[in-house]
Amino acid sequence: MKIRANELEAEAHLAVPASGKGPGVLVLHPWWGLNEDIKNVANRLAEAGFVALAPDLYNGRIATTIPQAEEYIAAMDEDAARNIVQAAAEALLAHEACQGKQLATLGFSMGGMYAVWLAYAQPERVSAVVLFYGIGWANHADTQASYLGHFAENDQYEEDEYIQLFKDKLEENGRPHTFYTYPGAEHWFFEPSRPDAYNEAASELAWQRTLAFLKESLA
């Protein structure tokens, strides 16, 4: 489906459960773009009973190498991306299949920043935030959401000190949160297209924890 945000237009991958109804989950991609890994996450969420929408923040571009991804993220217009994320949330909540007045955000790496930002910018819309090896801005921790985080023990992109700072900010604001660190795992451990980092055991455990969290948070 297409998302319209002011003068911008973006594609988004929509996945609806077989029942035709379910709580909404906004899936936000990493710096690779809206690739098959992320579309599959939305599809798996639909299989679990959720209505999942994954907007494309890269206008169709998909990176397959780190240099490509670095180029795309450097050229990214953050204001435009935020507008697309906000419009995607509105479209998801307005969709006939989506039940409830609140949704969850699920962000991977770069997408985690926007997952955290939306919960801060629109606290009345976001009741749950799931982060995969990506953290948002610590000053965006004053929300109404509960948080679940999945982090890698061996991560060259996320500093333990900053993750702890984010946790401290959540505690200061009284936000429920559970953060897991997966032994031996690396950044992108959940993404099969990254064979250098994909960790099947950690991925499956994180997925089961995510589904349990979402079902409780969006009940």
Strand partners, 98: 22
Distance of CA 121 to the CA centre of its chain: 15
pLDDT of the chain, 219 residues: tens digit per residue: 988 877 778 999 999 999 999 999 999 999 999 999 999 999 999 999 999 999 999 999 999 999 999 999 999 999 999 999 999 999 999 999 999 999 999 999 999 999 999 999 999 999 999 999 999 888 899 999 999 999 999 999 999 999 999 999 999 999 999 999 999 999 999 999 999 999 999 999 999 999 999 999 998
Print the domain residue range for 115. Answer: 2-217
- Rounded CA gap, 149 and 43, in Å? 21
What CATH code is carried by the domain that includes residue 71? 3.40.50.1820
Please name which of 100, 104, 20 lies closest in space to residue 54, comparing C-alpha atoms: 104
Query: Is 79 buried (19+), middle (13-18) or exposed (0-12) by CB count in 10 A?
Result: exposed
Angle at 129 between CA 125 and CA 135, to 5 degrees: 125
**Which residues are CB-contacts of 19 (< 8 A; sequence separation ≥ 6)?**
49
- Which pLDDT belongs to residue 4? 85
- CA-CA distances (angstroms) from residue 163 to 95, 111, 149, 185? 34, 16, 10, 16
| pTM exceeds 0.75 for this model | yes
| pLDDT in the model for residue 219 | 84
Could you give the angle at which helices 78-94 and 110-121 cross, rounded to 10 degrees?
60
Helix (H) or strand (E) segment spanning residue 13: strand 8-15
Q: Check residue 65 and give its pLDDT.
A: 96
Residue 69: the pLDDT is 97
Domain count, the chain: 1
Tracing tokens 């953060």 back to the chain, one arrives at 179
